[in-house]
Each structure stands twice: as structure tokens, then as C-alpha cells.
Amino acid sequence: MKAAEVMLRAVEPLTGRDLVIFMMSGGGSALVEKPIDDSISLEDLIATYRALVHSGAPIAQINTVRKHLSAIKGGRLALAASPAHQLSIMVSDVPENALDSLASGPTIADTSTVDQCYALVDKYKLLPQFPASVRKLFESRAILETPKSTDAVFSRSRWSTLASNAVVERSRWKRRRCPASRSRSTTVAMTGTMLRQPIICLSACESCERASRASA
């Protein structure tokens, strides 16, 4: 929670003449968090997350609730950094069409809604399991909507995926196999079995560029 507070304080004085660069990767949501309401303590947050995890809800639905209870996730870090220009550089472990799930999407427009958040809590009968501070927000319908793609903050935002499963797959098929991969291989340990795997060229070497143009 202290890390989230430091980040929010750092972007608070930014103006429209500033550029802020965010670097995000999978696992970020476990490292940085700040509840949307100051009445929610760290212990309350842990209890809320425990109830969500044990509810049987899929991770996407769990994240819907988590984002709406957060002051930094679900696009709210981007909102806090507005009106600065923003660039998010991402190392992704989520599907390409679900980038707002990466680290719970602190700088990306949220595709889930507050109505879905309320509905999920009702569906899994979570309200009695939530601590009083969180339960009060739901009972009073005080949870606000997360920033959406139409919000002005995202008109100054750009995103770049530096690495992801899709990037690796596209590189693999676009480049095909580099000539170097036919003469070299690497040994990979996987579940106790030693496998011989060809080295796949992911760079724009001259041979791969020619092969890519020839197959286009």
C-alpha cells in the first residue's frame, strides 16, 4: 500500500506538458495496491481478497471486483496522472485482447463495469463475508465506475507491448527458422526431462528478413 501511495503522490503534480512512462508486467497487481476508500485497512483488504479467491469465481470476475475497490487499478493510475501524456510499456502474461487484466490494468481503460461488480458480489453471496468497511461501500452503492476508453485521459495515452506470448508466436512464424537455428540447439529442462529445442531467431537478421519477404 505504501508503494501505491508513493506512485500516486509522484504523478499528482504532473501537467499537460509532462510525459510519464509506466513499465508494467504480470504480477504487478500483487505488489501495488491502495483501497478506493481510506476506511479500508490492509487487514480488511486481505480479508476481502481471501473471500474473493475462495468464492469459486473465475479470475476475470475476481479482478472485476478488485479493480473497482482499488484507487490505482482499473485505469485509476492513468486518471491520477492526467493531464500528462502517458506511455505504458508492457511485458504481458495475459491474452492480447485482455490487456486491462495485466497487473489489473492501472493505466488501461477498464472493460468491466461497476454494475458487473455489484452483480458478482450478489451472485457469489460475498457481502456477508466482506469486512464491515467494504460491506458498507456495497450496501450504500458508493463504489464509483472505473475509467473507460471514452474518458479524456486516454486521448493522451499510448501503450506498447514489449513482450508477450503473442509477440513471440508472431516472431516465430514470421521469421520461420533462422539458418543459425539449424546448426545450433539448446537443452531445456522441462518437468525432469531434457529436451533438445532449436534456437528460434527473434531478431531481424538478414537471412530471416529475406525468408519473410519471400513467403509474404
Based on the domain organization, do 127 and 181 belong to the same domain? Answer: no
Query: What range defines the domain where residue 206 resides?
Result: 174-215
Judge if 88 and 183 occupy the same domain: no
- Both 197 and 141 in a single domain? no
Domains held by the chain: number: 2
Residue with cell 522441462: 190
CATH code of 29's domain: 3.40.50.10180
Contact by Cβ (8 Å): 79, 151:
yes
* Same domain for 130 and 188: no
65 and 129 inside one domain? yes
Yes or no: say if 35 and 46 are a contact pair by the CB < 8 Å rule.
no
pLDDT in tens, 134-175: 999 999 999 999 999 999 999 999 999 888 877 777 666 665
Domain membership of residue 206 (yes or no) is yes
If asked whether residues 158 and 189 sit together in one domain, one would say no
CA dist., res. 151 & res. 80, Å (int): 13
Kindly state whether residue 133 falls inside one of the protein's structural domains. Answer: yes
Contact 163, 92 (CB under 8 A): yes
Asked whether residue 22 is assigned to any structural domain, the reply reads: yes
40: left (phi over 0), alpha (psi -120 to 50) or beta: beta
Residue 73 covered by a domain: yes
pLDDT in tens, 95-112: 777 889 899 999 999 999
pLDDT digits (tens, 9 = 90+) for 165-216: 777 776 666 655 555 544 444 433 333 333 333 333 444 455 555 554 554 4
Does one domain contain both 55 and 157? Answer: yes
